[in-house]
Amino acid sequence: MVSSSSASSVAPRTLSSVSKGKESVKSSIVGSSTKASMPAASRNGVDDDDDEDLLIGSSSTVPSAPEGAAGINGGMDLDDGEAGSAAAESGSSSRPSFAPLSRTQQSAASSSSSSSSKQSQLRRIPIPPHRLTPLKSDWPKLYTPLVDVAHLQVRMNVPRKCVEIRSSPHTPDVGLVQKGADMLRAYALGFEADDAVALLRLDDVFIDTFQIKDVKTLQGDHLSRAIGRLAGKDGRTRYAIENATRTRIVLADDRIHILGGFQAIRTARNACVSLVLGSPPGKVYAHVSLSEPTIPKDA
């Protein structure tokens, strides 16, 4: 009996101690939560009142805008607008007025602009070394039609070894500059000065150039024999084709240059091609003589 009573008295004590432990744990949790909810300033030993004092002091140090700032800016805008309108009025009143140009003045201005554009036309024609010596002897025949007929400015540039031509205010047509350049190029290819002048005086005269290898691939002695068939003995074959087709032919190594009209160049080229391929000269002469009436007389 004594043991049971003592046991019953021990159990309530144990429960009460457990409840006390739980209450102590709750109080510790509540205390930690209240500490976490406190502001950082109060945890560091600074009160909320001090924070408010600091904020008030910082706001008081910020300079405030003057009361009349908006009014001053508004006044500035108005002054700028008034100044702009005043300047516009003064500008419109003091703007210069010019009388319209007359027709004679307009024509003079257009002629001066066209003459300045003509002076900018320049051509340089290189002269090969083997044509420099003939150029010296034929120089009067070349520059005379360029100056008298086309009214061009011509000079020989010795360091560059080329002939320079330029349009002048007296040149009637700018296209004459290109015609003069074509004439000098024809002379550089090997044509006579009298034949090259035809490119400047006539409109339907052209130059056609082709190589023997364009017709047939020949090398060595075969190429030499083909050139010999084109020239003939003492140049008789070439002269016969020129007289029959009213063209001029220059044999420069393996290149063939033909000067004349369109139809005449076509006939002379067909004759040269036949000779390169090996046709006998008699057959070529017969073919050229048959096609001669179809060539226009002005070619």
Condensed to tens digits (0 to 9), the pLDDT of residues 238-283 reads: 999 999 999 999 999 889 999 999 999 999 999 999 999 988 888 8
CA–centroid distance for 249 within its chain: 40
Assess whether pLDDT exceeds 70 at residue 190. yes
Distance between CA atoms of 257 and 189, rounded to whole angstroms?
8
Question: Do residues 193 and 210 both lie within one domain?
Answer: no
The pLDDT of residue 130 is: 93
Question: Do residues 175 and 256 both lie within one domain?
Answer: no
213 is a domain residue: yes
Question: Do residues 138 and 191 both lie within one domain?
Answer: yes
Domain span at residue 177 reads 117-202
288 is a domain residue: yes
Q: How confident is the model at residue 92 (pLDDT cuts 50, 70, 90)?
A: low
Mean pLDDT of the 177-192 span:
94
The pLDDT of residue 171 is: 87
Given 149, 176, 202, the domain boundary residue is 202
Mean pLDDT of the 171-177 span:
87
Distance between CA atoms of 145 and 287, rounded to whole angstroms?
37
Contacts of 292 (CB under 8 A, 6+ apart): 244, 245, 267
Residue among 272, 281, 279 nearest 215 (CA) = 272
Task: Specify the higher pLDDT residue, 237 or 37.
Answer: 237
Find the CATH number of the domain harbouring 140.
3.30.1370.10
Assess whether pLDDT exceeds 50 at residue 164. yes
Given 172, 202, 232, the domain boundary residue is 202
Q: How confident is the model at residue 114 (pLDDT cuts 50, 70, 90)?
A: low
Distance between CA atoms of 246 and 205, rounded to whole angstroms?
11
| CB distance 244 to 230 below 8 Å | no
Question: Do residues 184 and 212 both lie within one domain?
Answer: no
Question: Percentage of the chain with pLDDT > 90?
Answer: 41
Q: How confident is the model at residue 7 (pLDDT cuts 50, 70, 90)?
A: very low
Contacts of 231 (CB under 8 A, 6+ apart): 237, 238, 251
The pLDDT of residue 5 is: 45
Question: Do residues 217 and 186 both lie within one domain?
Answer: no
190 is a domain residue: yes
Assess whether pLDDT exceeds 50 at residue 69. no
The pLDDT of residue 288 is: 84
Assess whether pLDDT exceeds 60 at residue 80. no
Question: Do residues 189 and 241 both lie within one domain?
Answer: no
Task: Specify the higher pLDDT residue, 49 or 204.
Answer: 204
The pLDDT of residue 36 is: 44
23 is a domain residue: no
Question: Do residues 132 and 146 both lie within one domain?
Answer: yes
Question: Do residues 208 and 296 both lie within one domain?
Answer: yes
Q: How confident is the model at residue 95 (pLDDT cuts 50, 70, 90)?
A: confident
The pLDDT of residue 282 is: 87
133 is a domain residue: yes
Residue at token pair 């240059």 = 257
62 is a domain residue: no
Question: Do residues 179 and 210 both lie within one domain?
Answer: no
Given 202, 236, 258, the domain boundary residue is 202
Distance between CA atoms of 17 and 25, rounded to whole angstroms?
12
Assess whether pLDDT exceeds 70 at residue 30. no
Distance between CA atoms of 119 and 171, rounded to whole angstroms?
9
Average pLDDT, the chain: 75
Quote the number of domains for the chain.
2
Question: Do residues 270 and 292 both lie within one domain?
Answer: yes
Assess whether pLDDT exceeds 60 at residue 70. no
Task: Specify the higher pLDDT residue, 180 or 15.
Answer: 180
Assess whether pLDDT exceeds 90 at residue 88. no
Question: Do residues 275 and 238 both lie within one domain?
Answer: yes
Residue at token pair 């007289």 = 243
DSSP 38: S
Task: Specify the higher pLDDT residue, 168 or 3.
Answer: 168
Assess whether pLDDT exceeds 90 at residue 98. no
Question: Do residues 190 and 218 both lie within one domain?
Answer: no
172 is a domain residue: yes
Q: What is the number of other CB atoms lying within 10 angstroms of the CB of residue 72?
A: 9
How far, CA to CA in Å, does 163 sit from each of 119, 135, 178, 179, 209?
17, 10, 13, 14, 22
Assess whether pLDDT exceeds 80 at residue 199. yes
The pLDDT of residue 134 is: 94
* Rounded (to 5) percent helix, strand, coil in the chain: 65, 10, 20
35 is a domain residue: no
| CB distance 164 to 130 below 8 Å | no
How far, CA to CA in Å, does 299 sit from each of 187, 239, 248?
19, 17, 11
